Chains A and B, each alone.
Chain A
């Protein structure tokens, strides 16, 4: 028999060291668990500008989580607070207006560039002795047995873990291998993403126009910059991407409006096809799916990453509590409770984002009338509006401790 390297025993093995995987690893390692995070990408490459031009809307609840696990202090200088959200139906004058002062003094959320979010997570991860980040490194095979999971890595090492977290993205190989089916749809929409500089300050106002081709969002970034998430039908998106910068900026300005003065494109343009994908189960023996591996939703409400953060806060709480009782963190009880705890939140947000997109990506006059009346009605019903705002902030329902601003 070939001589094997000694295996390393950890409490939790996180497969995928992206935004979700690193956040989960940090949450659990901060609470004293031994964690290995395995990622196939070189961390330096993922933090360079060309890798990912997106920004993330960090909802208030997610900011509480990042603060609770010691990451927020690295992000605070890079995060632009969202003080107001204005929602408009195309060119209709009817506006739904969320002002953070309706709920108190905290901002509704923050906009952070993905590469800076990654950098902040890596800074925190390096300070944790219980977190072993292996990147670039691949998982060659994963075996689940009754008592533990064994992962063979491309660096020759073997990991033995009580629980494996699948943070391996929308095409999750772990989900496939576990035989977990998915359902969903292709939205036949493409999101164009870019950053613009503008003459005038945005004053922390986020704008979302619902247009028949899909939502057009202006998200306030640090400085006189905004992040654009611009949804078009795939053919139109292809045409727009083919334009030179000047022509593209003209098209953008037509939709953006002139309220912030002259616009200039800052950096590259990216495009992402939009789809809905939901795992039928979020767990299998000794495996929990987290973030995109469990659900990919429409970005219409800027909630995809925040939904994943709530997965992380819930799983970290269940795992840490079980560990402090000496219980098996990969046992049936933890997985059953994770599945049960997450299902309602995930399915609610799937229904809301899918419903909103179908409602607004529609030009039939009766539907326009109904939704304009709906926006106006929400605007005039302060309790409903506050509920929707809290939902956008991620603080509705039976929240995990980290989301409520408590420690693990």
Chain B
């Protein structure tokens, strides 16, 4: 591994995703699992943030006036929908190729999104803060997950929220994410995940607390084979999301 000191980014991981960049928006391509996961992830993000910021999610552009950061935004699969929901969105990723795809796609959709090839500590140094910060399916790719969460938390305004998701370090997660998704179903390229980097909910909760956040919710993501879709569920054994807030007035 060639992780730099003082940074949470793992360069091998970036190279692995870069090779796939042109296919980010192909719903049946290598990022198909993320496309399938997206409605469930978006509903969690929307519902938690609507409740937290007292917005009505049935209105058009319910989050107008709020700034959101998506860390590890890749091709912009979360940034675009969240922009349509009214957020002013910044997406950061260390993968330049993915950002190029993200910029082109957003332009085609007529969406203004600020994509930057920066990392969380660069933004922190620029003194930019956000009402909401997302770190979805990136914790397990970080070289130092505790440091990564601390850097993400630093970007949240007081009264703001951080939503993180990752894979649990359980035999079930190993079966589903690595054996199932990478080897059996071939949903993901082999080598996408490394079991040792998966985080238990207790470990992620500890990282969030030591970053000064208070944990509001942990929910699982589960696959419903009958309806062929993902949904939010209580069980945390494979994939889970956390919602945490920073104390203070909004």
B117 within 8 A of A: no
Task: Indicate which residue in A31, A321, A332 contacts B27 across the interface (CB closer than 8 Å).
Answer: A332
Specify which chain B residues have a CB less than 8 angstroms from the CB of A331 in the assembled complex. 27
CB distance from A92 to the nearest CB of B (A): 43
Enumerate 16 A-B pairs (CB-CB under 8 Å) in ascending A order.
A9-B110, A31-B58, A32-B58, A32-B59, A146-B108, A147-B108, A321-B39, A324-B46, A324-B58, A326-B81, A327-B38, A327-B39, A328-B80, A332-B28, A333-B35, A340-B228
Chain B residues 96 to 112 lying within 8 A of chain A, measured CB to CB, are 108-110
B59 & A325 in contact (Cβ 8 Å cutoff):
no
Residues of B in contact with A (beta carbons under 8 Å apart): 27-28, 35-36, 38-39, 42-43, 46, 57-60, 80-85, 108-110, 228-229
Apart from A321-B39, A326-B85, A327-B39, what are 8 other A-B pairs with CB-CB below 8 Å? Answer: A147-B109, A325-B39, A325-B42, A326-B42, A326-B82, A332-B27, A333-B38, A337-B229
Task: Indicate which residue in B46, B108, B109, B228 contacts A325 across the interface (CB closer than 8 Å).
Answer: B46
Assembly CA distance A32 to B85 (angstroms): 13
Specify which chain B residues have a CB less than 8 angstroms from the CB of A324 in the assembled complex. 46, 57-58
Annotate A21-41 by CB proximity to B: 1 below 8 A, 0 otherwise: 000000000011000000000
Assembly CA distance A328 to B39 (angstroms): 11
The answer to whether A333 and B39 touch (CB under 8 A), given A32-B60, A326-B80, A326-B85, is yes
Specify which chain B residues have a CB less than 8 angstroms from the CB of A147 in the assembled complex. 108-109
Assembly CA distance A321 to B58 (angstroms): 9
B27 & A333 in contact (Cβ 8 Å cutoff):
yes
Specify which chain A residues have a CB less than 8 angstroms from the CB of B58 in the assembled complex. 31-32, 324
Per the CB 8 Å criterion, the residue count for chain A at the interface is 17
Chain B residue nearest to A9 (CB atoms) is: B110
Chain A residue nearest to B35 (CB atoms) is: A333
Residues of A in contact with B (beta carbons under 8 Å apart): 9, 31-32, 146-147, 321-322, 324-328, 331-333, 337, 340
CB distance from A28 to the nearest CB of B (A): 13
CB distance from A155 to the nearest CB of B (A): 24
Assembly CA distance A66 to B38 (angstroms): 31
Interface of B is mostly: helix
Chain A residue nearest to B105 (CB atoms) is: A147
B28 & A325 in contact (Cβ 8 Å cutoff):
no
Closest 6 CB pairs of A and B: A326-B81, A326-B84, A332-B27, A326-B85, A325-B42, A147-B108
Chain A residue nearest to B85 (CB atoms) is: A326
Assembly CA distance A247 to B84 (angstroms): 65
Assembly CA distance A221 to B122 (angstroms): 73
Specify which chain B residues have a CB less than 8 angstroms from the CB of A340 in the assembled complex. 228
Specify which chain B residues have a CB less than 8 angstroms from the CB of A32 in the assembled complex. 58-60
Assembly CA distance A388 to B58 (angstroms): 36
Assembly CA distance A328 to B38 (angstroms): 11
CB distance from B246 to the nearest CB of A (A): 24
Assembly CA distance A32 to B109 (angstroms): 20
CB distance from A331 to the nearest CB of B (A): 7
Chain B residue nearest to A398 (CB atoms) is: B227
Specify which chain A residues have a CB less than 8 angstroms from the CB of B60 in the assembled complex. 32
Assembly CA distance A146 to B228 (angstroms): 24
Specify which chain A residues have a CB less than 8 angstroms from the CB of B108 in the assembled complex. 146-147
Assembly CA distance A9 to B228 (angstroms): 32
CB distance from B89 to the nearest CB of A (A): 10
Chain B residue nearest to A408 (CB atoms) is: B58
Specify which chain B residues have a CB less than 8 angstroms from the CB of A328 in the assembled complex. 80, 109
Chain A residue nearest to B108 (CB atoms) is: A147
Assembly CA distance A325 to B77 (angstroms): 12
Assembly CA distance A340 to B57 (angstroms): 27
Specify which chain B residues have a CB less than 8 angstroms from the CB of A325 in the assembled complex. 39, 42-43, 46, 81, 85
Specify which chain B residues have a CB less than 8 angstroms from the CB of A337 in the assembled complex. 229
CB distance from A86 to the nearest CB of B (A): 38
Specify which chain A residues have a CB less than 8 angstroms from the CB of B110 in the assembled complex. 9
Assembly CA distance A294 to B229 (angstroms): 25
Assembly CA distance A324 to B85 (angstroms): 7
Specify which chain A residues have a CB less than 8 angstroms from the CB of B43 in the assembled complex. 325
Assembly CA distance A321 to B229 (angstroms): 14
CB distance from B64 to the nearest CB of A (A): 12
Assembly CA distance A228 to B60 (angstroms): 46
CB distance from A246 to the nearest CB of B (A): 59
CB distance from B143 to the nearest CB of A (A): 31
Specify which chain A residues have a CB less than 8 angstroms from the CB of B80 in the assembled complex. 326, 328
Chain A residue nearest to B110 (CB atoms) is: A9
Assembly CA distance A325 to B81 (angstroms): 6
Chain B residue nearest to A31 (CB atoms) is: B58
Specify which chain B residues have a CB less than 8 angstroms from the CB of A322 in the assembled complex. 39
Task: Indicate which residue in B42, B57, B59 contacts A327 across the interface (CB closer than 8 Å).
Answer: B42
Specify which chain A residues have a CB less than 8 angstroms from the CB of B39 in the assembled complex. 321-322, 325, 327, 333
Assembly CA distance A2 to B60 (angstroms): 35
Assembly CA distance A333 to B31 (angstroms): 13
Specify which chain A residues have a CB less than 8 angstroms from the CB of B82 in the assembled complex. 326
Assembly CA distance A333 to B77 (angstroms): 13
CB distance from A49 to the nearest CB of B (A): 40
CB distance from A342 to the nearest CB of B (A): 14
Chain B residue nearest to A322 (CB atoms) is: B39
CB distance from B146 to the nearest CB of A (A): 31
A326 & B228 in contact (Cβ 8 Å cutoff):
no
CB distance from B229 to the nearest CB of A (A): 8
Assembly CA distance A321 to B38 (angstroms): 13
Chain A residue nearest to B41 (CB atoms) is: A325
CB distance from B198 to the nearest CB of A (A): 27
Specify which chain A residues have a CB less than 8 angstroms from the CB of B83 in the assembled complex. 326
